[in-house]
Amino acid sequence: MSRIGGKTVLITGGASGIGALMARRFVAEGAAHLVLWDIQVEAMERLAHDLAGGGVAVSTYLVDLADPERIRATVQEMNEAGIKVDMLVNNAGVVTGRPFVAHSPDDIARTMDVNALAPMYVAHAVLPGMIARGGGHIVNIASAAGLVSNPKMSVYCASKWAVIGWSDSLRIEMEQEATGVKVTTVMPYYIDTGMFQGVRSPVIPILRPDKVVDRIVAAIKTDRIVLRLPWIVNLLPLVRGLLPVRWFDLIGGRWLGVYHSMDDFQGRR
């Protein structure tokens, strides 16, 4: 069982969305030190000001997660300040909602850098300390998009497929080596935070951010390996494995409306 009370928690993309909600929840759960990384400086500082009144230490760092050198330098700065990360929440993410052919090379690179490579770089930087101290917890916020293909989010899907494969491989390594480090992979459907503004989902419900945070915190406390939201997402690996591709296309595209969910995508403004 992972304890949040008294721990130092690092959240990437912690200034808004479920990152900010998780920050508030970790304070309520008794975290001793909250470390926020984001590029939204004003939002991050406002949140830090709000949280500081709750008796928790809050540190903020301007970090562009597409820059590996900035990640390395920030972790070094934290180490020099004596900040030892007990729990890492790889939450930051970006999406480009357009057909693949309309992506620019920069769109592709940034999506893969922030969504897929940054979680690996950050984990790689903080893991030695966790292992040396005999424990820790890494929470990787992937997506149900890592389980099913979807038009107008091909590169996003690719980035989340990568996170899921890496995250569970890391989990197995940590268990085999008896490091005491736990790994939880979270795969939510669309969350109503503004990141996917304009998305339509006639059958599968779009998730409420507060409910998602409740489930993530519960998963952390119980050292849950995989959390898929909502419950119907648990069926995706089985259904995809059993059905012919065209049958699955019929179910996902026509019946559930997933293949047209991004038709009116606008994104966060």
76-100 tens-digit pLDDT? 999 999 999 999 999 999 999 999 9
Apex 164 CA angle, 199 and 7, nearest 5: 100
Mean pLDDT of 142-158: 96
* 268 confidence band (pLDDT: 50, 70, 90): confident
Angle made by CA atoms 121, 140, 31, in degrees to the nearest 5: 100
Q: Which is catalytic among the residues 156, 189, 190, 259? A: 156
- How many residues belong to the chain? 269
Looking at the DSSP bridge assignments, the partners of residue 34 are: 9, 58
Query: Exposed, middle or buried: residue 256 (CB in 10 Å: 0-12, 13-18, 19+)?
Result: middle
User: CB atoms < 10 A from the CB of 210, how many?
Assistant: 11
Q: Is the pLDDT of residue 250 over 70?
A: yes
Q: Which residues pair with 38 in a beta bridge?
A: 62
- Bond into 230 cis (ω within 30): yes
**What's the pLDDT score for residue 131?**
98
DSSP for the chain, written as a single string? ----TT-EEEEETTTSHHHHHHHHHHHHTT-SEEEEEES-HHHHHHHHHHHHTTT-EEEEEE--TT-HHHHHHHHHHHHHTT---SEEEE-------S-GGG--HHHHHHHHIIIIIHHHHHHHHHHHHHHHHT-EEEEEE--GGGTS--TT-HHHHHHHHHHHHHHHHHHHHHHHTT--EEEEEEEE--BSSSTTTT---SSSPPBPHHHHHHHHHHHHHTT-SEEEESGGGGGHHHHHHHS-HHHHHIIIIIIS-GGGTTTT-----
Per-residue pLDDT tens over the stretch 205-236: 999 999 999 999 999 999 999 999 999 999 98
Q: Give residue 122's pLDDT band: very low, low, confident or very high (50, 70, 90).
A: very high
How large a percentage of the chain has pLDDT more than 90? Answer: 92
**Is-catalytic flag, 121?**
no
Single pTM value for the model: 0.96
What gap in Å lies between CA 43 and CA 45, rounded to an integer?
Answer: 6
Give per-residue pLDDT as tens, 20-46: 999 999 999 999 999 999 999 999 999
Q: Are 236 and 144 in contact (CB under 8 A)?
A: yes
Predicted confidence band at 193 (pLDDT cuts at 50, 70, 90)?
Answer: very high
Task: Indicate if the pLDDT at residue 54 is higher than 80.
Answer: no
Sequence-ordered list of residues with C-beta below 8 angstroms from that of 7, at least 6 positions apart, any chain: 31, 32, 33, 86, 87
pLDDT on residue 252: 83
Which of 59, 66, 85, 63 is closest to 74 using CA atoms? Answer: 63
> How does residue 269 score in pLDDT terms, banded at 50, 70 and 90?
low
d(CA 212, CA 188) in angstroms, rounded, equals 8
